[in-house]
Amino acid sequence: MSERPLYVIKVGSSTLLHPTIFAEIAAVRGRGARVLVVAGGAEGIERHYGSIGRTMPSLTLRNGDTVRYCPPEEMPHIADAYRRVTLPAVEAGLSAHGLTVLTHVAAHEGLVTGTVNKPLRVAEDGRSKVVRDHRAGTVASVDAERLGVLLDAYDVVCLSPPVRDADGGSDLNVDADVLAATLANALDADHLRLVTGTAGILTDPADPTATLRDAFPGTAGRYAGGRMKQKVRAAELGLLGTADVAVTGPHTMADPDGWTRFWAAEPSADLALLSRAVQIPSTSYDEHEVVRYLVRWCQERGIEARADEAGNLVAERGDGPRTLLLLGHADTVPFNWPVRWEPAGGSAEADASAGAVAAAGTTGPATDADADADAERDAVLHGRGSVDAKASLVAFLEVLADTPVPDGWRLRVVGAVEEEVSSSKGAFHARDHYPADAVVVGEPSGSGALTLGYYGLFKLRVTATVRSGHSAGFQALSAPDHLTDSLARIREAVLKEADEALSAIIDLSCSAGTESQSATAILNFRVPPMADLDTLRTVAAKAVDDDVTITFLRATPGYAGGRSTPLAKAFNRALNRRGISPRFLLKKGTSDMNTLATTWRGVPMVAYGPGDSALDHTAEEHIGAAEYRQGRAVLRDAVTAFFDLAAARDRAPRASQGVAR
């Protein structure tokens, strides 16, 4: 499975007349995404039928809707309309932007198959009639493996109806919006966009600006008529998959004012931002959509927010010369699954949630309403990023929105990009552009614990090369053998200097040519904060022979702060206020704290965030509502306490000066 994000973009045939959409698709591809376009054909079918002098037959359903009538004899003409009008328009529009494009009807070699719908009951001359030869169908299967290969081979793949009949009959006409949603689900797409001629779904058809901003299962249908009903159906189908879903327009994906976003059901309003941020996939290098959404969320609340040159989310309040930086990250590790809220599953989890609620100060006699509230409080959000680290970032933003910022201070939130990959692009940009007087890094510590530091990262690529020869030769030494020996010697040398370091081989590969063969490994060390990285470089290089090449990929120092800094004291006060006896952690992983520590000196830093870090990067990643709420509350109290402590320190010198005078 490719780790590059996948956009599935359904474009109506009238939108193909607007060249802007091709530039927008090219921009998506330019961000490194794979792109599958699904082209609708109403306009193209009308043009093709006009060119051949044929009338497109129609049927009137009992509810009054008019639909195309597609008996077997019409299907070749409908397919020709896509092949001769719609798909060439897509290819021409995208090729003009320098993109390689593959276009096919979905029936091509069985890329998509379907089954025939039940007979239609229609109205004719005021009487009910059953039509049995209608070649309308429903998608039954998608050849996801072949489509994956095509998506990797071309900049853009474009499919359109019809699909192949799984039972061997003539091809089947299917709704293009529903086809797009089905493809998105089958391919585990990251983003599904249904582009239409209106500004999303309109609550008032007479008002082109009356966009329904947010829709949930079952809430948008009342606003949809005609063709828009299928878009709603497709969007709700898309919610069953991994993609974030939006109906956009008019004829554009770029203007968020014209978006109707579809979301899974949320337990309560105060969990909405967490729920939605997790529903927008944002694996490393694909943070654009979640950053754009969070920037807009901030701006709607009067918070100054933007995406910076690195792609980071930057949001802030206050304009003082001193800054408290809340540094989270917007990206996740790969592989998403459908996001869902569920009741707390096991007794241990329920007990943990109940304990968190009790610590937050819930009191009063039990009632039926309390039982309902308890069920909602115990809700658990399952989804990639729910722990690492969107819960932390969202909590940062919600605290930014409602915490008073005193004069002389700036409260800044940065949602960094590429934290989960070696580049740490966003954190390096923050290090060099957003100086701060204190930093809270957004990583899961658990709502009752504070992380004071992290191990450093020492990462090497080691390549051993030997002359090619038969493995049965006298004293033959293979490249993997030579590499294995070299890795053992490097490990021994490094551990002599940093005996608390942890090491792991995280990648292996081999290659062979006529003259030589080589084996390469990525050797990863987690090193304690006091380790001397320059010394580790030296001893690693000396541990191997000349025919072994070492490339130092990363040498990031560890960081360890104390419990007596103003920031640690503020969190200690906040945790105690909630009746929590704090735990203090030194983690053996790394975070953006390490990146800042490469050049920042004397800046107090801690890491804090709700969620169980043991769930990071696992397929069981989830967070309880009570745990999230408690973490958010502690963070809010800690930020307030930090500002209060700073004000007290500012007043102390002035008071003593007054006494001296």
241 has a pLDDT exceeding 90? yes
CATH number of the domain that 633 lies in?
3.40.630.10
| 184 shares its domain with 314 | no
* Least confident residue range of 212-216, 381-385, 387-391, 649-653: 649-653
Residue 254 in domain = no
Residue 272 in domain = no
Residue 145 in domain = yes
pLDDT band at 655 (very low <50, low <70, confident <90, very high): very low
Residue 503: strand pairing partners = 525
Note the pLDDT of residue 58: 84
Residue 655 in domain = no
| 449 shares its domain with 483 | no
Residue 363 in domain = no
Between 608 and 128, name the one with better pLDDT: 608
309 has a pLDDT exceeding 80? yes
| 394 shares its domain with 496 | no
| 94 shares its domain with 121 | yes
Residue 365 in domain = no
Provide the annotated active-site residues. Answer: 331, 419
Between 546 and 438, name the one with better pLDDT: 438
pLDDT band at 347 (very low <50, low <70, confident <90, very high): very low
Q: How far apart are CA 142 and CA 114, in angstroms?
A: 9
CATH number of the domain that 541 lies in?
3.30.70.360
Note the pLDDT of residue 69: 85
* Least confident residue range of 219-228, 330-339, 347-356, 617-626: 347-356
656 has a pLDDT exceeding 90? no
% the chain with pLDDT above 90: 79
**Which two three-digit tokens encode residue 271?**
């969990």
Q: Look at the chain and report how many structural domains it folds into.
A: 3
Note the pLDDT of residue 399: 98
| 25 shares its domain with 113 | yes
* Least confident residue range of 20-24, 556-560, 607-611: 556-560
| 534 shares its domain with 419 | no
404 has a pLDDT exceeding 90? yes
| 590 shares its domain with 506 | no
Look at residues 527, 557, 587 and tell me which one is the last residue of a structural domain: 557
What is the tens place of the pLDDT at every residue in 562-583? 999 999 999 999 999 999 999 9
Note the pLDDT of residue 367: 43
Q: Is cis: bond before 343, omega within 30 of 0?
A: no
pLDDT band at 227 (very low <50, low <70, confident <90, very high): confident
With tokens 């045939």, the residue in question is: 13
| 616 shares its domain with 487 | no
What's the mean pLDDT when you consider all of the chain? 91
Note the pLDDT of residue 363: 34
Which are the contacts of 262, defined by CB distance < 8 A and separation ≥ 6?
Answer: 215, 216, 220, 235, 236, 238, 239, 245, 246, 247
Domain hosting 468: range is: 456-557
Between 516 and 280, name the one with better pLDDT: 280
What is the tens place of the pLDDT at every residue in 31-43? 999 999 999 988 8
Between 70 and 606, name the one with better pLDDT: 606
| 24 shares its domain with 102 | yes
| 406 shares its domain with 327 | yes
What is the tens place of the pLDDT at every residue in 269-306? 999 999 999 999 999 999 999 999 999 999 999 999 99
Note the pLDDT of residue 42: 87
pLDDT band at 203 (very low <50, low <70, confident <90, very high): very high
| 525 shares its domain with 545 | yes
CATH number of the domain that 149 lies in?
3.40.1160.10
% the chain with pLDDT above 70: 92
Look at residues 189, 204, 233 and tell me which one is the last residue of a structural domain: 189
Note the pLDDT of residue 377: 66
What is the tens place of the pLDDT at every residue in 126-135? 788 888 888 8
- Averaged pLDDT, 470-488: 76
Look at residues 524, 557, 590 and tell me which one is the last residue of a structural domain: 557
Note the pLDDT of residue 472: 45
Note the pLDDT of residue 370: 47
| 151 shares its domain with 92 | yes
The DSSP output letter for 82 is: I
HSE-CB for 583 with a 13 A CA cutoff: 8
What single-letter amino acid sits at 368? D
Give the pTM: 0.89
What is the tens place of the pLDDT at every residue in 100-109? 999 999 999 9
Note the pLDDT of residue 387: 98
What is the tens place of the pLDDT at every residue in 379-397? 999 999 999 999 999 999 9
Residue 578 in domain = yes
406 has a pLDDT exceeding 80? yes
Q: How far is CA 331 from CA 254, 418, 421, 447, 608, in A?
A: 21, 6, 9, 21, 17
Q: How far apart are CA 417 and CA 441, in angstroms?
A: 14
Residue 536 in domain = yes
Helical segments of 31-174, H only: 42-51, 75-81, 87-95, 144-153
